């Protein structure tokens, strides 16, 4: 059971990547101190929260009727305000442990396509945690900073941050976003596509966790070839329920299956990259042609996605070394220079 009595801590800066799939918290001088699934479980009979993060994720698809296991963020925005607030309180308590903090500044990463109302909802939650200043930073800018790109240079850089709820693509120069595209098709949609493919192609009903395991372990945008030019096939067991018999079933699934399942989603991301470049001035596009782009977010590490992007667009794509933590690290590092952060941030709230 969680105790939501939140202790404010000694002046520190905090970066928060409040993601659809995972929430990461960065504390200045400590780095990332928390990385948990954005899931919360509530016992409706007793009216209490019983688990958050990994413990709650383990309950997905297994909880009895009186326990709701929910993801309070959908498509990169807050869909359940109260549960999101409870979850973030629990995460912040866990992140700061016994340290008491007060008068801290916070930077929160949000998708580039969110509305002002959605930004305000995020700000309200963080202000409720005791922050004296809240800066809202668009995720592609945060990811670029976290990936080590020079966002202040006159030479443009490009990044695609593929998270759980959204894919945010941006071209950045001189401390600002020159062109951007936000697509509500990312990691969660990849999982849904795998679930639907397995149902239609193999008559097997699988859950979200199984779909994610398949995506992570054998997911691919295109297949590798051996020295003879033949496709390298990898298999993995998928456990679910047979549609016809209704009985449990174990099936060998190949990386070719998952590639086929992800094909439409990969196409949408590549179209988003093309559209973003089309929105940029010719000189900016020339910089991208010369320097390529960076992929971040959990979805950015889909096997051979970088290869497929280069094949389809001619732009060299590189996966960031810290692809999963890039947004969180960028929110934290942006606090090193408040004056620049004020330029980067999409809104500022003080109290």
Interatomic CA distance for residues 18 and 87, integer angstroms: 10
Of residues 137, 121, 123, 128, the one with CA closest to residue 8: 128
**Taking the CB of residue 98, how many other CB atoms lie within 10 A of it?**
6
Is residue 154 classed exposed, middle or buried when 0-12, 13-18 and 19+ CB atoms within 10 A define those classes?
Answer: exposed
Q: Distance between CA 186 and CA 218 in Å, rounded?
A: 17
CB 144 within 8 A of CB 159: yes
How many other β-carbons are positioned within 10 Å of the β-carbon of residue 278?
Answer: 10
Residue corresponding to tokens 């800018």: 141
Check residue 4 and give its pLDDT. Answer: 38
Q: Which of 263, 287, 267 is nearest to 275 (CA)?
A: 267
Cβ neighbours of residue 342 under 8 Å, at least 6 residues apart?
135, 348
- Determine contact, residues 310/316, Cβ cutoff 8 Å: yes
Is residue 18 within 8 Å of 107, Cβ to Cβ? Answer: no
CB 87 within 8 A of CB 52: yes
Q: What is the C-alpha separation between 74 and 165, in angstroms, rounded?
A: 6
Specify whether the CB–CB gap between 10 and 99 falls below 8 A. yes
Q: How confident is the model at residue 11 (pLDDT cuts 50, 70, 90)?
A: very low
pLDDT digits (tens, 9 = 90+) for 143-185: 999 999 999 999 999 999 999 989 999 999 999 999 999 998 9
DSSP code of residue 72: S
- H or E segment to which residue 125 belongs: helix 116-128
**Sheet strands (E) in 126-217:** 133-138, 157-162, 167-173, 176-183, 204-205
- Convert the pLDDT of each residue in 263-311 to its tens digit: 999 999 999 999 999 999 999 999 999 999 999 999 999 999 999 999 9
Query: Is residue 30 within 8 Å of 4, Cβ to Cβ?
Result: no
Enumerate the β-bridge partners of residue 347. Answer: 136
- Name the pTM for this structure: 0.87
Q: Which of 351, 325, 307, 315 is nearest to 19 (CA)?
A: 325
Beta bridge partners of 348: 135
Q: What is the pLDDT of residue 128?
A: 80
Who contacts 334 (Cβ-Cβ below 8 Å, separation ≥6)?
A: 15, 107, 135, 137, 142, 145, 340, 341, 344, 345
| Angle of helix 116-128 versus helix 81-96 axis, rounded to 10 | 40
Strand order in the sheet with 167-173: 176-183, 167-173, 157-162, 293-296, 317-319
Q: What is the pLDDT of residues 184-223, one digit of tens each?
A: 899 999 999 999 999 999 999 999 999 999 999 999 999 9
Q: pLDDT, tens digit, for every residue of 227-240?
A: 999 999 999 999 99
Write down the pLDDT at residue 351: 43
């Amino acid at each position: 059971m969680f105790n939501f009595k939140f202790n404010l801590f000694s002046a520190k800066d905090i970066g928060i990547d409040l993601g659809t799939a995972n929430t990461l918290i960065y504390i200045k001088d400590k780095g990332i101190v928390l990385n948990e699934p954005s899931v919360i479980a509530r016992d409706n009979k007793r009216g209490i929260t019983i688990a958050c993060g990994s413990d709650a994720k383990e309950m997905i698809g297994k909880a009895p009727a009186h326990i709701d296991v929910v993801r309070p963020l959908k498509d990169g925005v807050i869909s359940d305000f109260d549960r999101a607030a409870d979850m973030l309180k629990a995460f912040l308590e866990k992140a700061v442990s016994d340290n008491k903090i007060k008068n801290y500044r916070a930077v929160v990463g949000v998708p580039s396509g969110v509305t002002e109302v959605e930004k305000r909802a995020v700000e309200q939650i963080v202000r409720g945690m005791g922050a004296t200043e809240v800066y809202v930073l668009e995720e592609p800018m945060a990811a670029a900073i976290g990936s080590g790109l020079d966002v202040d240079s006159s030479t443009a850089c490009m990044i695609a941050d593929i998270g759980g709820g959204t894919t945010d693509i941006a071209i950045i120069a001189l401390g600002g976003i020159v062109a951007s595209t936000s697509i509500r098709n990312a990691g969660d949609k990849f999982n849904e596509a795998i679930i639907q493919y397995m149902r239609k192609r193999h008559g097997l009903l699988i859950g979200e966790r199984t779909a994610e395991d398949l995506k992570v372990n054998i997911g691919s945008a295109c297949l590798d070839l051996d020295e003879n030019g033949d496709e390298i096939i990898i298999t993995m067991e998928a456990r679910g329920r047979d549609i016809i018999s209704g009985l449990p079933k174990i099936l060998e699934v190949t990386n070719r299956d998952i590639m086929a399942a992800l094909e439409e989603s990969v196409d949408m991301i590549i179209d988003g990259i093309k559209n973003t470049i089309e929105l940029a001035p010719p000189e900016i596009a020339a910089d991208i042609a010369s320097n390529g782009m960076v992929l971040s977010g959990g979805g950015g590490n889909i096997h051979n996605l970088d290869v497929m992007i280069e094949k389809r667009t001619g732009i060299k794509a590189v996966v960031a070394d810290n692809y999963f933590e890039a947004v969180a690290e960028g929110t934290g590092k942006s606090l090193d220079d408040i004056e620049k952060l004020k330029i980067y941030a999409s809104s500022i709230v003080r109290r």
